[in-house]
Structure 1
Amino acid sequence: MIHMQFGIFTVGDVTPDPTTGREPTENERIKAMTAIALKAEEVGLDVFATGEHHNPPFVPSSPTTMLGWIAAKTEKLILSTSTTLITTNDPVKIAEDFAMLQHLADGRVDLMMGRGNTGPVYPWFGKDIRQGIPLAIENYALLHKLWREDVVDWEGRFRTPLQGFTSTPRPLDGVAPFVWHGSIRSPEIAEQAAYYGDGFFANNIFWPRDHFKRLIDLYRERFAFYGHGTPDQAIVGAGGQFFMRKNSQDAVREFRPYFDNAPVYGHGPSMEEFTRETPLVVGSPQEVIEKTLSYRQTYGDYQRQLFLVDHAGLPLKTVLEQLDLLGEILPTLRAEFAKGRPDTVPDAPTHAALVAKRDADLTDPVSA
């Protein structure tokens, strides 16, 4: 079993390279994302996750299409999302799309629910952003039901009722894909993850870690409150961000123009301020190891670490070099995170583990 999964996530931005001024085409960016996923498996990473966006300058509007292509080209990689928009997508379509992907990928699928952070998307899909939290709660309640009940009768506020409805295909082996609930600010989402006993992912790349520690602590406390186990048995994931070179000074010099011009944080705090306050680390492999290990001190033992590596106009060649370097430090990260990890802390979720737990619960319903 893998105690902890390491992987990468992409937001799929199309951003000009500030050192050359060249902007990739949408086709180039999509092909780059798939190349990055294949490289992730090659260097020994466990997870590739894509965002979902429906507005320029982003390209990943159809995550399951991309992940289905990657599934056909990989053997071990878990295919996930760094956001599946539970607010603006129809839960019925999510249920169908990800169950289909689950079958095609032989179970190497999970997904992360999110509300999205782009206001105009809501009316494009006939929704009201002011209902963001209620939409997230109601839509996920329906999705959860669709994957677990063969015939569903359902009525809610935000979509037409369902009568005698069966979502097809049914989940592989009768076990739904594992779900993470991602949030950067909403205690309601931490509460939702805890209620269902699902995973909680703190996408902590832009804010100080103390903010996310409060959300994770809340999730752990409520996970125990709902009877799913002790707080340290809750399933936690965290975001991260790095740019590394063998020599720290080289990393700082090379990444600075990308940082300074990045759409998401350029023209704001300095790179040095940002690396002090957030998970971003720009430096040597040893510095990346040390910063990543420090999350454990803040959040406790957790199950999934995803890094953002392909944004801000970084060329594909550079991103692939970053993944080679990550592959080199991966054995150290695995070994260090395993040290002193209590036996009570669950391993990272996989389809095989979920099937085994389901089967064990069926034979011993008292422990279920």
Structure 2
Amino acid sequence: MQFGIFTVGDLTPDPVTGRTPTEAERIRATVAIARKAEEVGLDVFATGEHHNPPFVPSSPTTLLAYIAAHTERIILSTSTTLITTNDPVKIAEDFSVLQHLSGGRTDVMLGRGNTGPVYPWFGQDIREAIPLTVENYGLLRRLWREESVDWEGKFRSALQGFTLAPRPLDDVPPFVWHASIRSPEIAELAAYFGDGFFANHIFWPATHTKELVDLYRRRFAHYGHGTPEQAVVGVGGQVFMRPRSQDAIAEFRPYFDNAPVYGHGPSMEDFMASTPLTVGSPAEVIDKTLGFRDYLGDYQRQLFLLDHAGLPLETVLEQLEILGTEVVPVLRREFAAGRPADVPAAPTHASLHAARDAEAGAGSADETPEA
């Protein structure tokens, strides 16, 4: 099972000091956070994509390429890449380049984002969000898998004999996660293609996330990719930790109360009771995270949000140290206990490459002179 962190890249005033970092400081801090994630033994670093204040990650592959040059092991992903307003040709090109630069430490999470005005900024209509997702992803898959693509659709100009350059590393496309917090159509899309499904699992109660994941698992099996238990699921989470839970609650409260997304809404206690947010001791984080398996089943990727709402970099790095040294080792051990042998691990470039070669070898063995 993979463990990691994701960032939304918000540029938020620190409610304790009143200081807002510059855009340059926030971007450099994101790089430092990614490097620390690798240092403490995490598996994945992912960044969101936003094109409006108060966010800074408008060019995720640029940021991830820089991080790739300063890391050696950690998988670099997005959370998410906007499949609706980005040109699928450009997505295909950018992630192929990132694959080559990172040595295959690349996958992609596709989603529609949470900012309505981004659609007209890029010449699209938000009312077409689902059809855009389906059409653009269909083209993206073909660009990564076919040498020459002839294609015609509704939302972009046609392609004739188009060849992607560069091709995916080892001719193995990045693994794709489809992310959604509310749309069953996205769970269906992920299931149809046998891709991964990532439930953000931050703003909604467990019952809502369970419904989406259950739907994805059923449809994954319906399309013949394996049993429901073999579907590839990722989950988000949000934590703030101190050795004593009362200290964590006192320290995090002003950040929660002023957060750009849920600040000035429900109390932190109400939010913790109804969502996966955990503010407390490492043991409390471990217990609540292990509880996700009770209603989601065995899954492959767990990402945590640590660096939002104006938290200073020093504090985020402290959180990463606790996560990597006290929390994740226990989660690895406990999630592995009793995990059925037929539940797959999270796909990586190496595992996808090996599976492709094994399939090709099996096909060659089946070719007899009589055939």
Task: Indicate the TM-score class for this superposition, using the shorter chain for normalisation.
Answer: over 0.9
TM-superposed CA distance for 1:54, in Å, is: 0.4
* TM-score, scaled to structure 1: 0.98
Gaps of 5+ in 1: none
- List per-residue Cα deviations over 1:286-327 (Å, max 9, x = no partner): 000001100011100000000000000000000000000001
From 89, 92, 115, the counterpart of 2:89: 92
From 7, 10, 13, the counterpart of 2:4: 7
| Residue of structure 2 equivalent to 1:171 | 168
What letter corresponds to residue 98 of structure 1 in structure 2?
A: F
Q: SS at the partner of 2:14? A: coil
What letter corresponds to residue 268 of structure 1 in structure 2?
A: G
Note closer, same or farther for the CA distance 1:126–1:172 as it changes in structure 2 (3 Å cut).
Answer: same
- List per-residue Cα deviations over 1:201-247 (Å, max 9, x = no partner): 00010110110100000000000111110101100000000000011
From 219, 223, 226, the counterpart of 2:223: 226
- 1:314-353 to structure 2, matched below 5 A, reads 314-328=311-325, 329-353=327-351
Establish whether residue 110 from structure 1 lines up as the match of residue 77 from structure 2. Answer: no
Establish whether residue 290 from structure 1 lines up as the match of residue 303 from structure 2. Answer: no
Distance 1:365 1:181 in 2: 30
- 1:195-214 to structure 2, matched below 5 A, reads 195-214=192-211
Distance 1:312 1:200 in 2: 26
8 Å Cα contact 1:23/1:313 also seen in 2: yes
Q: SS at the partner of 1:200? A: strand
- List per-residue Cα deviations over 1:127-181 (Å, max 9, x = no partner): 0100000000000000000000010000000000000000110000110000000
Distance 1:279 1:264 in 2: 15
Distance 1:365 1:203 in 2: 38
TM-superposed CA distance for 1:40, in Å, is: 0.2
| Residue of structure 1 equivalent to 2:258 | 261
TM-superposed CA distance for 1:330, in Å, is: 1.5
8 Å Cα contact 1:251/1:283 also seen in 2: yes
Establish whether residue 359 from structure 1 lines up as the match of residue 371 from structure 2. Answer: no
Establish whether residue 180 from structure 1 lines up as the match of residue 171 from structure 2. Answer: no
8 Å Cα contact 1:91/1:142 also seen in 2: yes
TM-superposed CA distance for 1:249, in Å, is: 0.7
What letter corresponds to residue 284 of structure 1 in structure 2?
A: S
- List per-residue Cα deviations over 1:86-131 (Å, max 9, x = no partner): 0000000000000000000000000100011111100111101000
- 1:113-132 to structure 2, matched below 5 A, reads 113-132=110-129
Distance 2:141 2:303 in 1: 24
Q: SS at the partner of 2:15? A: coil
Q: SS at the partner of 1:364? A: helix
From 22, 33, 38, the counterpart of 1:36: 33
4+ residue segments displaced more than 3 Å: 365-368
8 Å Cα contact 1:6/1:47 also seen in 2: yes
Gaps of 5+ in 2: 367-371
Distance 1:262 1:93 in 2: 33
| Residue of structure 2 equivalent to 1:244 | 241
| Residue of structure 2 equivalent to 1:140 | 137
| Residue of structure 2 equivalent to 1:72 | 69
| Residue of structure 1 equivalent to 2:369 | none
Q: SS at the partner of 1:182? A: strand
Distance 1:12 1:266 in 2: 17
Q: SS at the partner of 1:137? A: helix
Q: SS at the partner of 1:343? A: coil
8 Å Cα contact 1:361/1:367 also seen in 2: no
From 57, 76, 93, the counterpart of 1:60: 57
8 Å Cα contact 1:205/1:278 also seen in 2: yes
What letter corresponds to residue 204 of structure 2 in structure 1?
A: W
What letter corresponds to residue 347 of structure 1 in structure 2?
A: A
Distance 2:209 2:324 in 1: 27
TM-superposed CA distance for 1:365, in Å, is: 3.7
Q: SS at the partner of 1:146? A: helix
Distance 1:314 1:168 in 2: 40
What letter corresponds to residue 203 of structure 1 in structure 2?
A: N
Q: SS at the partner of 2:49? A: coil
| Residue of structure 2 equivalent to 1:277 | 274
Distance 1:40 1:127 in 2: 36
TM-superposed CA distance for 1:366, in Å, is: 10
Note closer, same or farther for the CA distance 1:262–1:165 as it changes in structure 2 (3 Å cut).
Answer: same
- % same residue: 75
Alpha-carbon RMSD: 1.1
